[in-house]
Amino acid sequence: MTPYRSGFISCDFDFDAKGKHYGAAHLDYSNDEGVSRVFPIPIVSITNGDGPTVLLTAGNHGNEDEGQLILRRLIADISPGDIRGRIIALPALNYPAVRANTRTSPLDGDNLNRCFPASTVAGPTHAIARFVVDALLPLADAGVDLHAGGASAKYVNTTFLCTCEDATVFRKSFDLAKAFNAPYMYVVDGRGSPTGFDPAAHAADVPFISTELGGGWIDQEALEVGYQGVRNVLAYLGIIATSDARTESGQITYLDARKSEGVVYAPHEGLFESRVDLGEEVEAGQTAGVLYSLDEVDRPPTVLKFPDAGIVCAKHISARVVSGTRTYITVSTATEHTILRTVDD
Ligand SMILES: [Zn+2]
């Protein structure tokens, strides 16, 4: 490939080389305080014979470690002889944020997943988004971006599917999510996050999904669902043998967040005692938990209730909340048939 150069990034990685290769895109950053550093964003390619190319990324948010672990394991496990086609893996996509263990970049404060498609490169984080759009998406036949709840939230183990205008790309992305075979498929209106990675991939005609796998602390089940899910996608695409897939493992619960999510906000700072676990089905008006004032010990606790019925799919993991903390997110379930209808039906 022709070397890639932008205002911040240079990359000489040879994506066409056969075998397994480790390299990097180099993010060059300096500021007025005299900080000047090169951040090597790691890239791994595994290539053998003819077949499709899958793009696998993690560390889009730097404090989400599950996806990074899953891709590290996959990179270690897969040899070129195991595949037909090409795997391009970036296990620490926003490398400065991964280094800092932060959701957003320590360099410019930007959230990479709000920087796409980066038609104007406003800084180093936009430059990473632009690199993805210009150099990586054109190579990809499909892709998965692995997320988790990070330091403050925990999710059910779910694929995350954005709707898009192009019915063919949406259907292929749906099939990818179904092949991943996580216990849940969380569907959102892609028009609600036009600056995200998934809509940028869809705009480039690349079937693409992301995930939310646990969060807060590393749990083995989230890693297992994610690792097996990525392998299922590789098998679905024909990159590894289908005998390596494990797709019989149960029913997918479809979560339809295209029109609304039920959010339980903390109305004031305090200590929140949650009363409901992830994955539980709740009724509208059901008690979510009680919130104690930090300062006024004699103040009766505030009872927080779920505004809508649904499945509890994300939860704030600490008792410490401030005004506006999203303590819970619930989403109503749907059938596969309903999900496959477009938003405007
Ligand atoms: Zn994330």
- Dump the DSSP string for 142-153: EEEEEE--TTTE
For residue 297, report the distance from its CA to the centre of ligand 1, in Å. 36
For residue 178, report the distance from its CA to the centre of ligand 1, in Å. 20
Strand, coil or helix: 128: helix
Return the closest-CA partner of residue 27 out of 76, 69, 70, 90: 90
Res 284: pLDDT = 97
For residue 125, report the distance from its CA to the centre of ligand 1, in Å. 15
Q: How confident is the model at residue 58 (pLDDT cuts 50, 70, 90)?
A: very high
Cα torsion 335, 336, 342, 345 to 10°: value is: -40
Q: What percent of the chain has pLDDT over 90?
A: 88
For residue 81, report the distance from its CA to the centre of ligand 1, in Å. 32
Cα 268 to Cα 239: distance, rounded to the nearest angstrom = 51
- Is the predicted pLDDT of residue 276 greater than 60, yes or no? yes
For residue 294, report the distance from its CA to the centre of ligand 1, in Å. 30
φ, ψ for residue 130, nearest 5 deg: -65, -40
Q: What is the mean pLDDT of residues 269-294?
A: 97
Residue-averaged pLDDT of the chain: 94
For residue 148, report the distance from its CA to the centre of ligand 1, in Å. 6
pTM confidence score: 0.95
* 104-124 pLDDT per residue, tens: 999 999 999 999 999 888 899
Do the beta carbons of residue 27 and residue 128 sit within 8 Å? yes
Cα 327 to Cα 345: distance, rounded to the nearest angstrom = 32
Return the closest-CA partner of residue 60 out of 220, 213, 279, 258: 213
Q: What is the mean pLDDT of residues 153-162?
A: 97
- Is the predicted pLDDT of residue 250 greater than 90, yes or no? no
Bridge partner list, 155: 214, 314
Return the closest-CA partner of residue 273 out of 264, 282, 281: 264
- Is the predicted pLDDT of residue 249 greater than 60, yes or no? no
- Is the predicted pLDDT of residue 344 greater than 60, yes or no? no
Q: What is the mean pLDDT of residues 150-157?
A: 95
Cα 6 to Cα 4: distance, rounded to the nearest angstrom = 7
Res 269: pLDDT = 96
For residue 90, report the distance from its CA to the centre of ligand 1, in Å. 15
Which of 21-30, 156-165, 256-265, 334-343 is predicted least confidently?
Answer: 334-343
- Is the predicted pLDDT of residue 31 greater than 80, yes or no? no
Q: How confident is the model at residue 191 (pLDDT cuts 50, 70, 90)?
A: confident
For residue 60, report the distance from its CA to the centre of ligand 1, in Å. 6
For residue 114, report the distance from its CA to the centre of ligand 1, in Å. 11
Strand, coil or helix: 335: coil
In one-letter notation, the amino acid at residue 304 is L
Task: Count H helices and E strands in the chain, helices first.
Answer: 7, 20
For residue 233, report the distance from its CA to the centre of ligand 1, in Å. 20
For residue 145, report the distance from its CA to the centre of ligand 1, in Å. 9
Q: What is the mean pLDDT of residues 319-344?
A: 90
**Structural domains of the chain in order of their starting residue, each with its CATH number:** 4-256 (3.40.630.10), 262-334 (2.40.50.100)
Cα 53 to Cα 144: distance, rounded to the nearest angstrom = 12
Res 248: pLDDT = 60
Question: In 251-290, which positions are buried (b, 16+ CB within 10 angstroms) versus exposed (e)?
Answer: ebbbbbbbeebbebebeebbebebebebeeebeeeeebbb
Res 93: pLDDT = 98
For residue 90, give Cα distances in angstroms to 46, 78, 133, 225. 12, 15, 14, 19
* 73-100 pLDDT per residue, tens: 999 999 999 999 999 999 999 999 999 9
Q: What is the mean pLDDT of residues 247-266?
A: 87
Q: What is the mean pLDDT of residues 306-315?
A: 97
Q: What percent of the chain has pLDDT over 70?
A: 96
For residue 321, report the distance from its CA to the centre of ligand 1, in Å. 20
For residue 49, report the distance from its CA to the centre of ligand 1, in Å. 33
- Is the predicted pLDDT of residue 245 greater than 80, yes or no? no
Return the closest-CA partner of residue 223 out of 65, 43, 113, 46: 65
Res 98: pLDDT = 98
Enter the tokens of residue 248: 């019989």
